Structure 1
Amino acid sequence: MAAPRIRLAAVDDLPRLPDIELAAAALFPEGDLPALLRLVSTPDSALVAAQREGRLWVAEHGGAVAGFALASRNRECGYLDEMDVHPDHGRRGLGRALVGAVQDWARASGLRSLNLTTFAHLPWNAPFYASMGFRRLEDRELCPLLSEALAAQRAAGLRQRIAMRQTF
């Protein structure tokens, strides 16, 4: 199997990303991701800004954009805000390669840590990130941004969400 091609997103890639995100959302059980949230994708303005700022990556498979990762930073901390792979291209290492690209960006940017929120109980979520060097955070370890993110996710109907961090 050929290694996935990961690159910074180009403007031409942006229209494909919402379809990937919505297709990936369909994999989640309805008890974890309420039906309404299955219809919502990252705002176009956020994708445009991330692409311009060099914090949006895409994975190519079979000549097509098949996944993406969106990151942000706040001072010395990085955040993996979104990572999705279209189910038609799953289980080929695209997600792992995308997270690796974000980890490389965080290290090269001199960030102290890379943080994320995810589902605790789904094998392609917390256990996946743990296999890539992230550890689950206790409530007392949460920075204000992660606390706010988890509270907003709970308010939106998401259950069993946790925060994870990798330090450099």
Structure 2
Amino acid sequence: MAPTAATHRVRLAVADDLAYLAEIELAAAALFPDADLPALLRLVSTPESALAAAQRERRLWVAEHHGEVAGFALASSKGECGYLDEMDVHPDHGRRGIGRSLVGAVQGWARAGGLRSLNLTTFAHLPWNAPFYASMGFRQLRNDELCPLLADALAAQRAAGLRQRVAMRQVFERHDSIVAILV
């Protein structure tokens, strides 16, 4: 059954939402096989100070399902590039299109902000990771296509014990020439 707007909604986070996000992140981490996510990383969540800064800067979204905060997406940007830094859905609310809606909100933010691309790192082999993002328009990058930020992120993830990680990118078309013609 396809999700409908009545089952969940995505909105910018407010300060009161922050208290729920660590629980969502840790519950989502429990879904990963032990070989992919070391035990220590299952106990670590994004610092509340980083979430609070993102909330104030309007780059943190939450999804509500039946009035309950069910997931979140955290983004950042550097220059003309956007980054989906984190996206988690609580397993109790999974498989309802919530993750797709959260990623869609970040894609909309990136486009509206005039960013050239949206980038992320993820597991290559898990169906709810790289294949999911590919279905939303992201393409896996070769090593020679990595910007320094993505190369550093992958190196840090390998150093932390994460394996089979890849970087992905979605490039947004520029319509500058169309605007110039219309003006």
TM-score (ref. length: structure 1): 0.99
Q: Show the counterpart of 2:179.
A: none
1:147 to 145, 151, 154: 151
1:130 to 130, 134, 152: 134
Query: Is residue 4 of structure 2 the alignment partner of residue 2 of structure 1?
Result: yes
1:36 to 31, 36, 40: 40
Letter in 2 for 1:159: R
Query: Is residue 87 of structure 2 the alignment partner of residue 88 of structure 1?
Result: no
Let me know the Cα RMSD of the aligned residues.
0.5
1:15 to 2, 10, 19: 19
1:110 to 92, 114, 127: 114
For the residues of structure 2 that align with 1:71 and 1:79, how far apart are their CA atoms? Answer: 5
Q: Show the counterpart of 1:75.
A: 79
Q: Show the counterpart of 2:164.
A: 160
Structure whose alpha-carbon radius of gyration is higher: 2
Task: Please report how far the alpha carbon of residue 2 of structure 1 lies from its aligned counterpart in structure 2 after TM superposition.
Answer: 3.0
Structure 1 residues without counterparts, runs of 5 or longer? none
Q: Deviations over 1:108-134 (max 9, x none)?
A: 000000000000000000000000000
Structure 2 residues without counterparts, runs of 5 or longer? 173-183
2:56 to 52, 57, 76: 52
Spell out structure 1 runs of 4+ moving beyond 6 A.
none
TM-score (ref. length: structure 2): 0.91
